[in-house]
Structure 1
Amino acid sequence: MATAAAASVATALPAQPASTTVEQLPLSLSFEQFSDLVGQIYEGPLEDVPWASAMRLVRQYLGANWVTLILRPASISQQAILVRAGEHGEDLYGAAYNQFQGFSLDPFVGLPPDRVLAIDEMIDIRTWIEGDFYKQFIEPNNIRYIIGADIRIEGGGECRLRITRPVTEKNFSEQDKAFCQRLLPHLKRSVKLRSRVEGIESERRLYAVAMDRMQIGTVVLNEQGLIVRSNSVADGILEEKDGIQVVKGKLHAEYALEDRELQRLIKNGLSNVASASPVITEAISLTRPSGQPKLGVLVRSIPCNDLSEGNDWPQVAVFIRDPKHQPAPSHELVRRLFGFTSAEVALALLLTNGLTLDEAAAELNIRKNTARAHLRSIFSKTGVTRQTMLVRLLLNSVASVS
């Protein structure tokens, strides 16, 4: 109801005033100050506390006690995500207001998209001050005056900007609102960029988890051949220093002949990127002093676009596979995929790990005849006739990346 009421009031508001010209910067800011603030808005997604620097400047220029950016309003199913700047600094805020119950009491919502308004223009102030929301969330934070904007993002997203002053200060002026209005397009673009980057990062994390589950070590090198990042599987292999290790930030094989070949493959990959040639993939096996089976290493150049610059830009990916580390398929997913019983899953996973049927029976503390009965049932349900076929089936199933 609060949203509908606010929206109906908004329709009766006067038309938005024309934006100020470049020669009439709000609040008498210099061009350098305004340019710095806009720059901080675009840098905001990269900060540990998103947009902390920009909100600090807005708070300073407007004499506000709080500047809050609500990146995701609360809903019944999820908490709000909001960043606030106050006298004690900037932080990702977590409190009762983040819950849907608190958000649902807020009457200052449903603003016309991308337009800065004061709360006095939207609702009856006396009713607001006497309401539960004011007493629970506003008054304890020494807030009286509020201006804000609801920013609509392509794809259905929304964020909200709220700026406040205490009762001891003057209300926000039209010039203050004009200043915020000038910032909205930049903030909107910056939030949109953050959304895009977070989507890409979520995909990257998904693929990284899949590689971890498949027990494939991944090492990314820059144009100088230095390691810029690696996954947990690669870290474990490199820490063992058994066939391959890190020396001065670079990958090196244990034995000289193999190391020369590894460096050649890496150099070829880097040269391939520099010359914009088609992606190449080469491989080598590395002997291990421990006598364990050889490590499999694959070197692949990473295609770059015309804007790929900087010493830390990924140039080559090195994938490392240790034969003794096999993927561990999910017990529950294997059961669901093939209709196994719990006992059959336990046996199938032990066989996948390289145990013989007799060894698996001993591990499970069951009789050999019982293990054979489970195996016959497993063969019937999967359609395979040999243990090697069963192992291949399980390792190649989606359960291995669960």
Structure 2
Amino acid sequence: MESYKLGDYEHRMIAAIYDAALNSTKWRAVLADICQHIDADEASLLFFDGQHMQRNFVITAFNLDNDKFVAEHLKDEAEKIKLLFKGSPSGKVFTANEIAANTGISYEDYVGEPTKINERKELQVRVGIPLLLGEIICAAMGFHCFHNSAALSKNAIEFIELLSPHLVRAMQIHNHISVLIAENNSLLESIERANLAVLFLDTNLRITYTSKEAQKTLANHPALKINSHQRLQAFIHQEQLNLETLLTEFLRHGFQANLLATDGISLPLQHPDKTHPLKLCFIPLNKAGVILNNDVPCLAIFLTDPERKRFISPVYLQQAYKLTVTEAQLAQLILQGLTIADISALRRTSLETIRWQIKQIMQKTQTHSQAELTRLLMLLSNDFNNSMPLNDLADTSFQ
């Protein structure tokens, strides 16, 4: 088997992991797929919240009976995992030998005898991964092989390490989303908590919903406003005509998936008092989507104001998407709303070089346009009041 690289299969697996983060019933298929790929005989995933027991789950790839057994002793299992990985960073991939070397105690000494499948076959852990470790919340994943069988290969460990930061992120998403579900929050409340600047438009292109973050963005950047008829109005007349044309075309064809792959879905709006334009990114909503105030929204518009700084951890980008230091810095500039020309001037680099670097970022993040990349970065980012000045990002040495 050749050394693992982040190819089509890995990207499909990463997509499946994030899908499972939103729907825990899909984890079993993910675990089974990983087991088949790395030649493991079993995999297990445990999530435990000591305060909200309804959020807890344990899932194995194949052994349903073991699910029931562990579920009955979930609190004890979670405590054992906390002891086992105490002080370890989330996402660190431990082999059984590394666990024993770090703790002086074997995994089996913590969790008991190997899991029996039948009278002749039993499983032993070969890899353990702490995903979330806290006083109240705990999550971990393990991969197992039959007793006396060969250890997982070096390539298998490497593959798991590629997936590990995404598994951690998936558990963080599950932790956040399941809290919202547990508290019976609506979709709109979820949007508000995520601090997304989002507008919803109905089939008449009237605004049916404006998030609080979108209200702040519109108040800060006068290139766009909502008029008395609840329609969008650009400050510059020609840009208003462009906006109306785009929205009309989008209403006719916006449900075609291929339209999302064009840069035309990202629209900048200028204002004479602002250095950088307000960016609009358009996403079609399912025709049978969420109903707000008896209006059916058909279009979501994400607003990006470069002056409202947002930040995404470069370390996370490097771990999760294998970006280089340079690419992670460039992603931050894209998130700030800078154009290719802006970035080229700021970094004193040619336009061709910047385009090539952005193409590399899009390939690694599996996005197909700069607009789609910007949306991804927005969803992964947080507001950052004291963000690094742009000149610092330009002058930072990179590899």
Q: Same fold (TM over 0.5)?
A: no
What's the TM-score, normalizing by structure 1? Answer: 0.42
Please identify the structure whose Cα radius of gyration is greater.
1
